Structure 1
Amino acid sequence: MRKITTDTCVDIELFQNDLKDIDPEFIPRIFSIFKMSMDQNDFLFMTDDATYAYGNVICEWLSLEHDPKRPQQIDILNGKKIIQVESGNEFVVVLTDDGLVYLASDDSDWQTNNTFRLISTGNDRFEMIACGCLHLLLLRQDGTVFALGDNCYGVLTGNSDSSYATLVNTGLNNVKIIACGGEHSLALTNTNQIYSWGCNKYGQLGLGDINDRTTPSLVSFPDGQIKNIVAGARHSLFLLEDGQIFGCGYGQPSINDNEPNAKVPTKIPIENVQSVACKNSFLFSFVLDHSSHYYQWGRKNNKKSVPLEKLDGQLKSFAAASAIVNKSPITFGLTSTFYTYESNNPISFIGLFNNPDNYDVEFIIGDKRILACKCYLKMASKYYSQMFSGDWQESNNRVVIDAYSYDVYYSYLRMLHTGQIQINQFNIAEFIDLANCYDDEELMKHCKSFIRIESKWNGLY
């Protein structure tokens, strides 16, 4: 099982201040982005044919010369498809689709020799990585968990010394998800069991005390199938399949008013949670519920705690939510990006889109659905005007879509409500087909604009 995506997509324009000096015609080529820290403008960019470094710090790690106008191609990753990127203090790690792990750093302990070092273990292949501040976890494809790096607080398990060259077997098997906080680690098995180890100063291990653990320890957890586990600097979060979310550690609400930090997984008062995000160096967290509302809580830069609160605005991603709280967007792992094309109509009807309180038709795509209003769609599109007229049976309010993917169809319907469409190299073919089938001239115009820019850059690099 590969890492659950935190943001399915993020508008590249969120990073316009960070990327303002780059040649603007390079921007639409980026289909994935990773920002290394909140305070530095250092990025990894993925295009359809290469991986690029941008920023003084990351370029120095890789013996590249930073150019504010042109990201630098990373030759050692040529031909590699990157599926996950994580980072810690002064190091960054990438996982490729063929199960290989590469690490770059300016810390001599990591022995990277100013390039991306292949973390090699013979024929071993990995399917997930997780970074703490000073250590790294790797999940092998057979479910075995390994650790690497500094062994502060026993995060490498046992009484092992720090290990930067040789992977340490944690003894955990049958694992499907791993996560790292600042100085602690988590693992979720295929049998729905959670193990934690490392620093426990604030109860972040969820074991009912504040004693550190040097070996993985089983966490007692309420009944319920666990969907995802994540960790912040000093806390841990557990998302259930039914939308409940639990937390423990620093800043997590305790059932005991005299305890400032929960020492066991304790329910956080929000329902129908769809996804959760936090980072190994931060004390705050974000969640997204099934009504597309974003919430945040925790503490920023050791300032006063912020209680659970809903963020204002029509946010589209965790990156957008983080920009409100921190004045600068954050990526939570490798994030797909889109270049937004806009129509001349500045009015947004987003309130009529995918609103569970106001809809009369649902589009079914696989096991997912998209909610909409027929009346508005008939006004916005000639195709839907024909679809919902004539022989359409009013009792049939479900439309099954099998010709297009969920993400493409969702983006198209959203365009009809907001005037914005998000295009990249992977969805352009579907959008062209949809534009032809639905006779949508506006969508076709945006597709042609994207192709023109892409063709120019393919000839330039």
Structure 2
Amino acid sequence: MEEELPLFYGESGKSVQATLSSLKMLDVGKWPIFSLCSEEELQLIRQACVFGSAGNEVLYTTVNDEIFVLGTNCCGCLGLGDVQSTIEPRRLDSLSGKKIACLSYGSGPHIVLATTEGEVFTWGHNAYSQLGNGTTNHGLVPCHISTNLSNKQVIEVACGSYHSLVLTSDGEVFAWGYNNSGQVGSGSTANQPIPRRVTGCLQTKAVVNIACGQMCSMAVVDTGEVYVWGYNGNGQLGLGSSGNQPTPCRIAALQGIRVQRVACGYAHTLVLTDEGQVYAWGANSYGQLGTGNKSNQSYPTPVVVEKDRIIEIAACHSAHTSAAKTQGGHVYMWGQCRGQSVLLPHLTHFSCTDDVFACFATPAVTWRLLSVEPDDHLTVAESLKREFDNPDTADLTFLVDGKYIYAHKVLLKIRCEHFRSSLEDNEGNVVEMSEFSYPVYRAFLEYLYTDSISLSPEEAVGLLDLATFYRENRLKKLCQQTIKQGICEENAIALLSAAVKYDAQDLEEFCFRFCINHLTVVTQTSGFAEMDHDLLKNFISKASRVGAFKN
């Protein structure tokens, strides 16, 4: 049931298989708000949440466990004590020393955060008591919420547009905030100013997962049953009706199906079963149910993604977008995609569901707290790079200009045809090298370990000589690129001479064009005055043919 959608594919038309290396770096650059951060700041990020009506606010933590915020600061949602916007990251000192376990946000926006110690902090928009501090005053700084939660350890949080849920380690759900449709689950429609335990059908149940739509709430219990309450105008509660539900009610249509996770969009719901199957229901004006049409569904409906098992579902209450990830690493999306309607699951080129919301959802916000675990695993390339010039593991030493360079015979044989033959019968462990300088030969050996070079343009000329001698064509191209970047009026003739000498035709043409474009100054340099006779003759002849001497 997959439709063609070329725009989601890479140039090859193939999906990208997820690998362990894709987990190593948190690529927050896909969210526009992070363009305000420097590259150095981005490298330090370990957790991040992008929120707000236009994705213009962000909170992130660093490797040093510091919390920073950035953005428009609507209703004081950055927690800085004011409502001033900031285009530079500011440290949230009031949460200094706290480590974030989970975080969610509302439409106001308001923030609900739980620490690794199970404490809850809230701030931001509070017109409907969604901060749970007993007032309706906007919270400009994080407030520790302890009423009815003082002896509880909160392990999960969820926000609707203007209400909040938390889940404790003992399986209890507490709710507060806007309650016009029963989304707090108290049995009435009065707003709830402080945390109150959601009871009724959940009284004796152990909840393992919670989620919020715009004005509805969901809970999965340890037996795999799903309980729902709140607004149901689009059938988002999955009860087969459109009437609101003021207290938790079990979804009878999922009888015999064991649900593991629930995710809520603005007015639609997704669940993931223990068998890797996805069901959806609710609003479908953008195809967010993945059924191939735009008709709302008030009963759970299977979503056919692919034969592979689904291991993750994604949605958030501020968007009409759905996403899922398979066991094979394929990421699919459906629903609203930058204003378009995608009616069936489509394969994307992403390796994580987070990127779907960064690139396709409106607004571009995160559906969960992004997090990356420090990964000490080195790739093959990184391991080889680290071993270059390491005397502890080397079995071959080069002596150049009185200095030692340590290498590994087997790697040199694998990487270079010259060494494959020259080291075949070499029993010694020390090789003296006099043909090339130490910087040049070291750069050559390092290139064999790293696939890159780091030399000045002048030294790169010597490496170009070596690359020509050893017939290393790729290295020859890299040298030419480096030399081009360092050309100036003073050295243009010398570089041109080197290009001719080593038959680097692309570089020769580049240097010649540079000399023509700066002819007056170049002809006054010492390099031009000392130019080889044959090269000078050829230069003048060629320059004449391109009209360099015409008035």
Structure 2-normalised TM-score? Answer: 0.56
- Is 1:29 aligned with 2:55? no
Higher helix share: 2
SS in 2 for 1:83: strand
Structure 2 letter corresponding to 1:241: D
Aligned counterpart, 2:272: 239
- Is 1:79 aligned with 2:97? yes
Q: Which has the higher contact order (CA 8 A, sep 6+)?
A: 1
Superposed displacement of residue 9, structure 1:
6.9
Q: 1:265 aligns with which of 300, 309, 320?
A: 300
Instruction: Tell me, yes or no, if the aligned pair for 2:68 and 2:92 is still in contact at 8 Å.
Output: yes
Alpha carbons of structure 1 residues 101 and 286: separation in structure 2 relative to 1, 3 Å = same
- Is 1:150 aligned with 2:178? yes
Alpha carbons of structure 1 residues 258 and 319: separation in structure 2 relative to 1, 3 Å = closer
Quick one: percent identity of the two aligned structures? Answer: 26
Aligned counterpart, 1:130: 158
Higher strand share: 1
- Is 1:116 aligned with 2:172? no
SS in 2 for 1:156: coil
In structure 2, what is the Cα distance between the partners aligned to 1:255 and 1:86?
25
In the alignment, structure 2 segments of 5+ residues that lack a partner are: 1-21, 382-413, 416-448, 453-551
In structure 2, what is the Cα distance between the partners aligned to 1:276 and 1:253?
12
Alignment of 1:59-458 (within 5 A): 60-61=76-77, 62=79, 63=81, 66-69=85-88, 71-90=89-108, 91-108=110-127, 109=129, 110=131, 111=135, 113-121=139-147, 122-157=150-185, 158-159=187-188, 161-171=190-200, 172=202, 173-220=205-252, 221-251=254-284, 260-270=295-305, 271=307, 272-299=309-336, 305-313=341-349, 315-326=350-361, 329-337=364-372
Instruction: Tell me, yes or no, if the aligned pair for 1:151 and 1:161 is still in contact at 8 Å.
Output: yes
Instruction: Tell me, yes or no, if the aligned pair for 1:81 and 1:97 is still in contact at 8 Å.
Output: yes
Instruction: Tell me, yes or no, if the aligned pair for 1:182 and 1:232 is still in contact at 8 Å.
Output: yes
Q: 2:54 aligns with which of 36, 39, 56?
A: 39
The C-alpha deviation readout for 1:155-211, integer Å capped at 9, x for no partner, is 112015201234353342311111111111111111221111111111111111111
SS in 2 for 1:291: coil
SS in 2 for 1:26: helix
Alpha carbons of structure 1 residues 26 and 195: separation in structure 2 relative to 1, 3 Å = same
The C-alpha deviation readout for 1:130-166, integer Å capped at 9, x for no partner, is 1111111111221111110011211112015201234
In structure 2, what is the Cα distance between the partners aligned to 1:219 and 1:209?
11
In structure 2, what is the Cα distance between the partners aligned to 1:162 and 1:9?
43
In the alignment, structure 1 segments of 5+ residues that lack a partner are: 1-6, 346-378, 381-415, 420-461
- Is 1:50 aligned with 2:86? no
Instruction: Tell me, yes or no, if the aligned pair for 1:248 and 1:262 is still in contact at 8 Å.
Output: yes
In structure 2, what is the Cα distance between the partners aligned to 1:233 and 1:9?
31
In structure 1, what is the Cα distance between the partners aligned to 2:188 and 2:119?
28
Superposed displacement of residue 24, structure 1:
2.8
In structure 2, what is the Cα distance between the partners aligned to 1:254 and 1:132?
19
- Structure 1 or 2, whichever has the larger Rg, is 2
Aligned counterpart, 2:484: none
In structure 2, what is the Cα distance between the partners aligned to 1:328 and 1:259?
21
In the comparison of the two structures, how many residue pairs are matched? 340
Superposed displacement of residue 250, structure 1:
1.1
Superposed displacement of residue 287, structure 1:
0.8
Aligned counterpart, 1:14: 29
Instruction: Tell me, yes or no, if the aligned pair for 1:253 and 1:261 is still in contact at 8 Å.
Output: no
Alpha carbons of structure 1 residues 297 and 9: separation in structure 2 relative to 1, 3 Å = farther
Superposed displacement of residue 258, structure 1:
10
Structure 1-normalised TM-score? Answer: 0.66
Instruction: Tell me, yes or no, if the aligned pair for 2:290 and 2:335 is still in contact at 8 Å.
Output: no
